[in-house]
Amino acid sequence: MTDWNPYTQRARDWFETLRTRICAAFEEIEREAGSDAAFTYTPWDRSTEDGSEGGGGVRAVMKGRVFEKVGVNVSTVQGEFAPQFAATINGASADAPGFTATGISLVAHMANPHVPAVHMNTRFLTTSKAWFGGGADLNPPIPYPEDTEAFHAAFRAACAPFDPTWYERFARWADEYFFIPHRGVARGVGGIFYDHLECPDDAQWDRHFAFTRGVGEAFLRVFPRIVRQRMGTEWTPADRQTQLEWRGRYAEFNLVYDRGTLFGLKTGGNVDAILMSLPPEAVWS
């Protein structure tokens, strides 16, 4: 069996570097808006029933003038899945429940209703198999077609060097995944979503790791640009009401359907880190 520890460490190092760069970029935007808001970093350890080493992570949260609430979390955990949950995970089973997982997860809820909220997550997991997954999607309460196109163009470009079919496939996957069945509406305007990019050998690991890094770089290029373009837009109480109602739907999706939320809760993750995706304020009409 492959020793995945060095691969997990390499992925972890990248996710931590990406977090540092994203947090710095977001703090720079706050400075441009005349705010001294900064991220607060809170380490946490994963507890296990048998007292074995379970890993942990760092929760980074900022509440500012532009970013009403943004969380950028990195975690690296290991252990065993519960038997029933193991059956739902690629390469795991009741007989082989062991896993490792490392990843970065970001959700930003913005103060100005004209600035889109956003989600980004990339991860590397090992069971009896090893694979990358993740993606990013834009969630505007008040959509602008040019923002949607810029966001999609960034991830189309990220996919292009690896497989000409990936963007269409992963964009369609995002549309299907980020959908609220009980509302019959999409959560936002999409992006890309991918999973189970398996790594049966070093060549595939290198390729899929390079793609995952490309996803992070694409996010870092496009989202701050969209924020700067919209953060000075004047807004009305009606715009704020639209935003708060939209946030209610965002919360519904994350609590009812999101697989990442379920994975974190089922594996004993830090509850505050898992639920940092919830907006600071929302309404239900």
pLDDT digits (tens, 9 = 90+) for 50-79: 667 789 999 999 999 999 999 999 999 988
> Residue written as tokens 């992006």?
191
| Upper half-sphere CA count for residue 57 (Cβ side, 13 Å) | 27
What mean pLDDT is predicted for residues 240-265? 92
What's residue 72's pLDDT? 98
pLDDT at 154 over 60: yes
- Catalytic residue, candidates 109, 119, 152, 208: 119
What mean pLDDT is predicted for residues 119-123? 97
152 is catalytic: no
What's residue 53's pLDDT? 77
Asked if 183 and 252 touch (Cβ cutoff 8 Å), the reply is yes
DSSP state of 110: E
What's residue 87's pLDDT? 76
Asked if 94 and 116 touch (Cβ cutoff 8 Å), the reply is no
What's residue 54's pLDDT? 84
Average pLDDT, the chain: 93
What's residue 21's pLDDT? 98
Asked if 252 and 179 touch (Cβ cutoff 8 Å), the reply is no
Beta strand 117-126 with 98-110 is antiparallel
What are the structure tokens assigned to 210, written together?
A: 């390079």
What's residue 50's pLDDT? 67
CA 273 to chain centre: 12
> Residue written as tokens 């969380």?
71
CA atoms of 116 and 107, how far apart (whole Å): 11
Choice between 89 and 2, residue whose per-residue pLDDT is larger = 89
- For the full predicted model, state whether its pTM sits above 0.85: yes
What's residue 2's pLDDT? 66
pLDDT digits (tens, 9 = 90+) for 176-231: 999 999 999 999 999 999 999 999 999 999 999 999 999 999 999 999 999 999 99
Query: If pLDDT is split at 50, 70 and 90, which confidence band does 46 have?
Result: confident
Asked if 103 and 163 touch (Cβ cutoff 8 Å), the reply is no
What's residue 267's pLDDT? 78
SS3 185: strand
Query: If pLDDT is split at 50, 70 and 90, which confidence band does 97 have?
Result: confident
SS3 143: coil
What's residue 51's pLDDT? 66
CA atoms of 275 and 269, how far apart (whole Å): 10
What mean pLDDT is predicted for residues 101-128? 96
What mean pLDDT is predicted for residues 95-112? 90
Residue 230's alpha-carbon distances to 96, 132, 168, 217, 260, in angstroms, are 49, 32, 27, 21, 29
> Which domains, ranges and CATH numbers included, belong to the chain?
5-277 (3.40.1500.10)
What mean pLDDT is predicted for residues 149-171? 97
| Upper half-sphere CA count for residue 34 (Cβ side, 13 Å) | 2
CA atoms of 277 and 250, how far apart (whole Å): 9
> Which H or E element spans position 256?
helix 237-256
Query: If pLDDT is split at 50, 70 and 90, which confidence band does 1 have?
Result: very low
200 Cβ contact partners less than 8 Å away, ≥ 6 residues apart:
none
pLDDT at 37 over 80: yes
